Amino acid sequence: MTVDAAPLSVVVLISGTGSNLQALIDASARRGYVVHAVISNRPQAAGLARAAEAGIATRVVDHTAFSDRDTFDAALAEAIDAYAPDLVVLAGFMRILTAGFVTRYAGRMINVHPSLLPQFQGLNTHRRALEAGVSEHGASVHYVTTELDGGPVIAQTRVAVEPADDDARLAARVLEREHILLPQVVEWFAEHRLAMREGQVWFDNTPLPQPLQC
C-alpha cells in the first residue's frame, strides 16, 4: 500500500492526560500522518504539555466560557478548521458534541472508547465490565456519529479479564492496548484504506463484516 507524499493531517481533541495523544505523536513519523494541532476543552489538560513538548500547536477552547453547546461547538469547529485536517481524532475528549458538529466531520472524525462496543457505552466502562463479570474487555475505535459511542466500529483490541483485576488494573491494561490500536487505525486512514459509507465501515473498498482486530 502506498502512502501519499503529503502525510495525513490530524487534529487531536483531548480533555486530560493525553496518553493516547502521546502514542499518536510517537508513532506519527513511521505511520504516515502528522499531528498538526491539539485542542483541549480544559486549560489544565496534561496532554497540552505533551503536545508543546513535541512542538505541536495547541489551542484551548474552554467549554466553561460558553453558555451552551451550540456556541462551544461553533468555536471548536472554528479552531479545528483553521488547520484544515483530513482527520479529527477524539482521544479522551470528554464532551458530548451537537448533531451539527458531528455531521460537519462525518466520515473524518473518530473516537477511542475503552470497551468492546456496543458493550458499555458511556462512562465507567472498566467498573461496569467487572460488575458484569465479562471474561473479555478491551477498547474500540469508531466513527463518531450522532449516537454517543454508537458509531460504526472500525477496530477493537481485546484483553482477558483476570481474577485479580480491579478497576485500575484492568483500565491500565486496556489503556496500553489503546496506545497500539489508535495509531494503527490512523495509519489505515493515512493509507486511504478506510471509509464510512451508508453507516458502515469500509476497509479496502469492502464493507467490514466485523471490526478489525488489533
- Please give the residue ranges that form the binding site for ligand GRF (CB under 6 A): 16-21, 47, 91-92, 112-114, 139, 175, 178
* Closest to ligand GRF by CB, 71 or 213: 213
* Closest to ligand GRF by CB, 181 or 190: 181
CB of 147 to ligand GRF, least distance (A): 16
| 213 in Cβ contact with 156 (< 8 Å) | yes
CB of 190 to ligand GRF, least distance (A): 20
CB of 15 to ligand GRF, least distance (A): 7
The CA-to-CA distance between both ends of the chain, in Å, stands at: 18
* Closest to ligand GRF by CB, 127 or 192: 127
Residue 94 burial (C-beta neighbours within 10 Å; 0-12, 13-18, 19+): middle
CB of 120 to ligand GRF, least distance (A): 11
Question: Which residue's entry shows cell 483553521?
Answer: 82
| 138 in Cβ contact with 157 (< 8 Å) | yes
**63, 113, 126, 179: the active-site residue:** 113
Q: What is the dihedral of CA 198, 199, 200, 201, to 10 degrees?
A: 110
**Tell me, what amino acid is at 161?**
V
CA distance 120 to 128: 7
Name residue 31's beta-bridge partners: none
Residue nearest to ligand GRF (CB): 92
Q: What cell numbers appear for 56 in the block? A: 505541536
Q: What cell numbers appear for 72 in the block? A: 462551544
CB of 5 to ligand GRF, least distance (A): 30
118 preceded by a cis bond (ω within 30 of 0): yes
* Closest to ligand GRF by CB, 1 or 180: 180
Q: What cell numbers appear for 205 in the block? A: 473498498
* Closest to ligand GRF by CB, 158 or 197: 158
Is 113 annotated in the active site?
yes
Catalytic center residues: 113
